[in-house]
A and B are shown apart, each in its own frame.
Chain A
Amino acid sequence: MDLYYTREDEEFRARVRAWLEANLPREKLETLEQQRAWHRAVYEAGFIGMGWPVEYGGRAARPMEQAIVGEEFARVNAPPTLNGLGIAIVGPTLIHHGTEAQKRRFLKPMLTADEIWCQLYSEPNAGSDLASLRTRAELVGDHFVINGQKVWTSGAHRADWGLMLARTDPDAPKHLGISCILVDMHAPGVEVRPLRQLSGSNEFSEVFFTDVRVPAEHLVGELNAGWQIAQTTLSYERGGNTLSRVSRQLALFHRLLQVASRLERDGRRAIDDPVVRQKLGQMYTEIEVLRYGSLRILSRLEKGIRPGPESSITKLYYSEMDKRHQELVLEILGPYGQLIEGAPSAYALQDGVAYGEPGSWAYGFAYSRAGTIYAGSSEIQKNILGERVLGLPKELRADRMQAHPATQAQAGGEGGA
C-alpha cells in the first residue's frame, strides 16, 4: 500500500494547475460558439479524450492522469467541455466495437466537438427494464428504417449524432433482438422535443423517429448484439471519473464553509453552531470516503484491472450521498439556500445565476434528484451488486417466464411440489 501520489503525478497536477491558471475563462460562456472555443482550447492542451489510443486522436494517458485532470478542472469550477457523453461512452464503444471506417469517420470530430453526440437508450416503456425497448430498426435493402420514440435523451436538442439501441429482431428473446446503430440526428423523420426538467433547465428531450433511413454500415458490431455492447459501455461510464465528483463536491463544501462563517443563525455564526458543525463534519467525512474509494478504483485501473460490477458501489454511494448533502446544505442555509433571484453575494453559491442554470444552491439540490435515476437507478445498482457481486438469486420475473417456457415449467413444478 502506498497512497501518496507519485512525483510524476504531482508534476502532472502542477502542469494542469498552471494551464488552468493561464487559460480558465474569466467570463461566463454564454454561446455555443464560446463553449466550442473553450472545448477546442482544452482539446489542444491534450486534456480531452486523454485515455483514447493515440491513433484515434487520444493521448493514451494513464487513468491517474485523467483523474487528476477531472479533479483539477472541478476544483476551479472550470466550465464543462462539450460532448462529454460522446467522448466518455460513444467513443470507447466505437473504439472497441466499431469498424475501421466508423472510427475514421466519427472519432476525430467527436473529440473536437465538431459533432456532438447523444445516447438514444431509454423509452417511455423501457426505463430500468431497458431491454424491453420497442423502437424498431428494420433492415430494408442496404438501409435500416427506424420507427419509434426515445425519451430522457440528454443533449438531444444540440446533438448531431446519436448512439441508438433499437429492436432488430422482434421474435428473439428480448435481450437477443437488439442492435446498436449510429443515427444522424439531422436526418428526415427525426423530431426532437425538449422537456423541461424540475430544475428548470432543458437538458433532456423526447425524440421521435418516423421512417428514418440509416445506412446499414452504421450498425455497430454484429446485428442483434447490441445488448452486449451496451453492457460494456455502461462500465466505461462508471469508474475513472470519480475524482472529479470528489472535487466538485469539495468545491461546494468549501463554499458552504465560507457562507457558514458569515451567516448568522440563532444569534451566532452558523459555523459556531455545534449542530451545523456535526453536519459539516459528516459531509466532509462522506466526501473523503468517496475519495478513498476512487483512489482504490484508480489503483486497480493503474494495474490494468478494469472495474467490474463493483463500480456500481461508487455510483450508488456518490449519487445517494449527493442527495443527502444537498439536503444538508439547504438545512444549514435556510431560505438563503432556495434564493435564486436577488441572492446576496455573501450567501450565494455563485453570482448572477438564473433559474434553471447551474451555479445556485437550489439547482444543485434539484439536480441531486436526477443522480439516483440516470445511468442506472440506485435500485438497478443494488440489483447489480446483489446479483453479480454477491451472487444472490435473480427475482422471478414475469417477462423472463414468458420468454423461456422452460423456466416457467420449472417454477410451476416447484410451486406444485
Chain B
Amino acid sequence: MDFEFSQDQMALRELARELLTERCTSAHVRAMMEDPAGYDPALYRQMGDMSLLGLAIPEQYGGSGLGMVEQAIVLEEMGRVAYPGPFVAGVVLAATGIQASGDEAAMARYLPCLATGELTMSFALLEDAIGWGPEVVAMRAVPAGDGFVLSGTKRFVPFGATADVILVVASTGDGPGDVSLFAVPRETPGLTVEPYGMFDLNAKTCALHFDAVRLPGDALIGDLNGGAAALDAVVQRGAVAACAEMLGCARKSLEMSVAYAKVRKQFGQPIGSFQAIKHKCAEMLEATENAHSATYYAAWALDAGAPDARLAVSVAKSFVNEAARKVCGEAIQVHGGIGFTWEYDLHLYFKRAKHLEPLWGDTAWHRERVLEEVLAGRVAGAAAGR
C-alpha cells in the first residue's frame, strides 16, 4: 500500500509547475479569453517537447507509456493556473478513444503526432441531448461507396474550432449501442464550425455542423458498431481528468484564501483569526484533501485495471464535483468584495471548476453509477467477498 507519489512523479509535478508558472500567467489566461483559438500553440508544442503530451501514450507510439496518474498530476497543475488549451481534448479524450478502439493503424497514424503536439485533436459526443452513453448519439453515419456520409450537429466540442482532426461518435446500426468512431479532419468539405461562448471564457467549445460530410473508409476507427467500449473508456478518463483539473482549481483557491485571511484585517485583527473564517478554511482544506485522495485513487485504479476502477471513477467525479464547487465558491466568500471582481483571479478557478462539473457525468449521474457498481459487487477492500 503506497499512496505517495514516486520521485519521478514529484519531478513531473515540479516540471509542469515551473513551465506553467512561467508561461501560463494570469495575463496569458486573460489574453486567451479574447483569442479566437483560445490557446498558445507555441506553449502547446513546448509541452510536447517536454514529453508532457505523450505521458499516457505507449512508448511504441512515441509516448512515455505512463498513465492516468501522471496525466492527473499535470492536469492538477493546469487547474491551478486555469490553463487554456486542447490538452484534455487531444491527449486524454481523443487519444483514449483511439487506444481503446484497438485500431493499430489509427494508433500508428495519430498517437505519435499527438505526443509531439504537431497534431491537435478533439472528441465530439454530445448533440441536442445531454448524456454520456451511446444512447445520446443521434447522428447517423450512412455507408456510401467504400466510405460514409455524416449529417447532423455535434455540440460542446472542446477546442473543436482549432482541432486538426475530430474523433466523432456516430450511430451506425439499429441498436442503441451501435455506434462507431470516425476521425474527421476539420477541413473536410461540408463541416462548419460555430464557436460557442461559455461562462468560462477560456473553455473554448463549439458546435460542429455536418452537412452530408463524405468520409473515406479509413476514417472509421476500430470496428463498425464497436465504438461503445471506446466511448466508455473516454468517459472514464475524461471524468478523472476533470477531477484532477478541479482539484487544482480548489487547491489554488484554498491557498489564496488562507494567504488572504492571514493579512486582511477587520476589527483590528486578521480575519483568519475569526472562527467564522478559520472554520471555513478548515472545511475547504478537508474538502481539498479528500478530493486529492479520491482523484488519485481513481487515476491509479484506471491504470491498474483494479476491479473497483469504475466505482472509483464515479466516487471521484461525484465527490470532487461537490468539493470543488464548495472550495472555489467559499474562496470568494472569504475574500469578500475583491473576490467578486473581474480583476482578481479567483473567478478563473471558480468558472473552470463549474465548467467541468457537468462534463463526463454530473454528481447525480455518478452517484447512480456508484450504486450500480456496489449492487454488482465490483468493490475492493473488506467489502469485497461480502
Contacts and interface: CB of A to CB of B under 8 A. Distances in A.
Interface of A: 1-6, 9, 13, 64, 68, 71-72, 74-75, 243, 246-247, 250, 254, 257, 274, 277-278, 280-282, 284-286, 288-289, 291-293, 295-296, 298-300, 302-303, 310, 313, 316-317, 379, 381-383, 385-387, 389-396, 414-415
Contacts of A390: 258, 272, 281-282, 285
B201 to A, nearest CB: 31
B315 A285 contact: yes
A296 to B, nearest CB: 4
B268 A386 contact: no
Contact of B367 (A1, A246, A282, A385): A282
Given A1-B69, A2-B1, A286-B319, A386 B290 contact: no
A257 B297 contact: no
B22 interface: no
Given A246-B382, A302-B1, A392-B278, 7 more contacts: A75-B382, A277-B371, A288-B311, A292-B297, A296-B293, A299-B1, A414-B268
B87 interface: no
A289 B258 contact: no
Given A299-B4, A396-B273, A281 B312 contact: no
Interface in B186-235: none
Contacts of B318: 281-282, 285
A141 to B, nearest CB: 45
Nearest to B6: A1
Contact of B296 (A1, A6, A291, A316): A1
Nearest to A397: B273
A396 B269 CA distance: 9
Contacts of A313: 285-286, 289-290
A289 B293 contact: yes
Given A295-B1, A299-B4, A389 B371 contact: no
A390 B369 CA distance: 35
Contacts of B277: 392
A395 B273 CA distance: 5
Interface string B301-333: 100101000011011001100000000000000
A246 B383 CA distance: 10
7 contacts: A1-B4, A250-B383, A292-B290, A295-B293, A382-B275, A392-B258, A392-B261
B300 interface: yes
Contacts of B366: 281, 285
Given A291-B381, A379-B279, A3 B368 contact: no
Given A1-B300, A4-B306, A257-B375, A393 B1 contact: no
B279 A280 contact: no
